[in-house]
Amino acid sequence: MDYDKLLNDRQLEAVKKTKGPVLILAGAGSGKTRVLTYRTAYLIEKENVAPYHIMAITFTNKAAAEMKSRISTVVGERGRDVWVSTFHSSCVRILRRFALEAGYDRNFSIYDADDSKTVMKAVMKKLNVDPKKFKERTFLSAISKAKDELKGPEEALKDWGHDPVAMLKFKAYKEYEDRLKESNALDFDDLIVKTVELLRTNKEVLSYYQEKFEYMMVDEYQDTNTAQFELVRLLSGGTRNLCVVGDDDQSIYKFRGANIKNILNFEHYFPDATVIRLEQNYRSTKTILSAANSVIKNNEARKDKTLWTENEEGEKIKVCSFESAYEEADYIANDVAVRKRKANDSYSDYAVLYRTNAQSRILEEKFIRENIPYKIVGGVNFYSRKEIKDIIAYLKAIVNPSDDLSVRRIINVPKRGIGEASVEKAAVFATANGKSLYEGLLSSDINPAIKSAASKIRSFTSLIEGFKSRLNESVPTIIRAVLEESGYQNELVIENTDDSKARLENLEEFINKAVVYQNDNEEPTLSGFLEEVALIADIDNLPEGDDYVLLMTLHGAKGLEFDTVYIAGMEDGLFPGFMAITASDGGEELAEERRLFYVGITRARKNLTLTLARTRMVRGEYQTESPSRFLKEISPLLTEGNMPAPSVSSRKTEAPRKKSYTPDTSYNPFKKPVAPKNFGTTIAKAPLSYAVGDRVTHRKFGEGVVLSITDGGRDFEVLVRFDGGEEKKMFASFAKLEKA
């Protein structure tokens, strides 16, 4: 293979630099997947590295499948032996092999977000936590962030403090962990945390994998959290032949735990690292790249790089302002229809991006009226639908009967006359005898507390035992048996409603998924199928080949590209968000919003349109907003179309009158705006009747103490610690707090 002809100079350097730590700063559209593919091929062909000594980690199943396919195309059958998978999939494989060493049975269950929520509900009930004051996600979010930082309950408490709320989180964390352990279950965060713990505490296991993975590559490195960094550090610690690929300018997942310092400080962690910059872009026009460069250079904490391309100059970027969000959506839908007719291209060449999911509703309405096929990315996940969750719970209970959560979900689905009281009595009996709930159910005949329900429980356990005896059959066969013999399918058939028919169709699609899994794997198992289902990401579910416009948040668009892109809602307070503008974190939040805009710009290949509305409905009232500050960071030489300055003299705005969506050319957004430098709000800001330290009353949350008051321009932002221990940050005009 002639690598010199296949790659540009920088790509070739990245491929051939195989020894020691390497950081490849891969700008948007610079061919990073191509580099990783040929780097793998180079190791196998030129350096005679056995494929099974190479590990490549990605973030999504889709990216892993694409990389594996490309590697196999280049090097043939040998590519199948390269370990290519996601972080979570890799950890599952390690933990399955060394489960006992990690303190778990090999058939441990993997709990998704809904499962974790169910566990936390039970935890809160035990701790007598009022669900009206605290939601499950309050505790689960805190626990997840702690696990991302590899902190157990005690260490997390040091960060949280020792006030009543912190102590409640601490107790919830401990109880949550105990319940997962009792059920032989791990949540998604645990997959990485427990693998790191295993590698840290078991030198034999660590040595085994360090010898196995002589060469390690990590894609999208800017998205790694602290736990993932430690996993990579441990696994690559043998040969130190670690190659990470990423772009700090596309680090947009701080809210998920991503730590941008992992990539910014790579040379600090690995002083002998080689840094290679991939700056040639193969995706976008010169105009689009110039706009992206001019925006991102305003971030200070970044690795210096400038994208360039040999592509054509391309069309100027359209900047369009409208009187209302309705006219903005009307324009976008109409423009898609017009462009589609003229270009005779596919709807899949178009995407509409926005900062918040709430913006999609109006866009959907307009697309329906224009008869434009579209798909919302980020809606209800297929695997989150009730009927799918039910059947998965059956399968989990068959593989791992110790999974109390799954057993509880299905014991009376469909209804078998087994009441919650009987289940609780069985659980009490099981706990007293050191058994799982299912083992307690198996012993129902000797449990006098549930004598009346014993026969019904015995019928259920016999059903599960029968399914367990058929684990050697194909996965689709097992699923069909569960649907038929449990009575689940028949109940939906008898119901005979549109809803039940849709549920049956979903179950058929689930079987289709099982058939594909069965055919694609050399050694298919029900346990392996459940792992694959558990690790599927939302973006992995996009149907291939369907022709529709994609509507999605900017976060959801990462990794995708389209000929024509619209970014809607380019207003201060919306994008960047108000909280980012007013954050007192030295500009870090605003910098991440700017990176998000950079990601949005670089999704476009040929055409980019930026739209904003002079007025937008928020909380039931119309607000006026200033054009996004990010727009002024793009040179006017790269744009066409202008926007009017919003009037902010009247904070409360009447509903806008309908008018044409032709952009107003009377105002240049890149010159200093005539309007005052504030954000506009629905209500004129009035003096507050309370101050920091005062006790106040809220109609829903009761009494509390004011901790801080921040003047955000559009409104006062008030932080209150309520007597229940919960702290809430709210806008004064909407909170309507009264001095106690």
pLDDT, tens digit (0-9, with 9 covering 90-100), for 448-461: 778 778 889 999 99
21 φ, ψ to 5°? -70, 135
CA pseudo-torsion sign 166, 167, 171, 177:
positive
HEC per residue, 660-696: CCCCCCCCCCCCCCCCCCCCCCCCCCCCCCCCCCCEE
| CB neighbourhood size of 388 (10 A) | 19
DSSP class of residue 402 equals: T
Are 571 and 625 in contact by the 8 Å Cβ rule? The answer is yes
| Whole-angstrom distance, CA of residue 701 vs CA of residue 723 | 9
Token pair for residue 728?
């809430």
Short-list 39, 45, 52, 37, CA closest to 13: 39
| Whole-angstrom distance, CA of residue 477 vs CA of residue 422 | 32
CB under 8 Å to 630, separation ≥6 — which residues? Answer: 295, 570, 575, 576, 593, 594, 597
| Whole-angstrom distance, CA of residue 430 vs CA of residue 407 | 13
> How many Cα atoms are found within 13 Å in the side-chain-facing hemisphere of 697?
4
| CB neighbourhood size of 575 (10 A) | 27
Helices (runs of H) and strands (runs of E) counted in the chain: 30, 21
Residues belonging to the active site: 32-33, 219-220, 250, 603
| Whole-angstrom distance, CA of residue 574 vs CA of residue 531 | 38
What per-residue confidence (pLDDT) applies to 219? 94
Which three-class secondary structure state does DSSP give residue 254?
helix
**Residues of the chain with confidence (pLDDT) below 50:** 537-538, 542, 644, 646-652, 655-684
CB under 8 Å to 324, separation ≥6 — which residues? Answer: 613, 614, 615, 616, 622, 655, 656
Phi-psi region at 639: left, alpha or beta (left = phi > 0; alpha = psi -120 to 50): beta
DSSP one-letter string for 301-370: SS-----B-SS---PPEEEEEEEEHHHHHHHHHHHHHHHHHHH---GGGEEEEESSGGGHHHHHHHHHHT
| Whole-angstrom distance, CA of residue 404 vs CA of residue 398 | 12
DSSP one-letter string for 414-438: S--S--HHHHHHHHHHHHHTT--HH
- Angstrom distances, CA of residue 395 to CA of 400, 464, 479, 536: 8, 9, 8, 17
Are 63 and 39 in contact by the 8 Å Cβ rule? The answer is no
Are 571 and 230 in contact by the 8 Å Cβ rule? The answer is no
What per-residue confidence (pLDDT) applies to 519? 85
What per-residue confidence (pLDDT) applies to 683? 34
What's the residue count for the chain? Answer: 740
HEC per residue, 577-640: EHHHHHCCCCCHHHHHHHHHHHHHHCCEEEEEEEEEEEEEEECCEEEECCECCCHHHCCHHHEE
What per-residue confidence (pLDDT) applies to 168? 94
- Angstrom distances, CA of residue 148 to CA of 196, 244, 255, 257, 611: 11, 19, 11, 6, 37
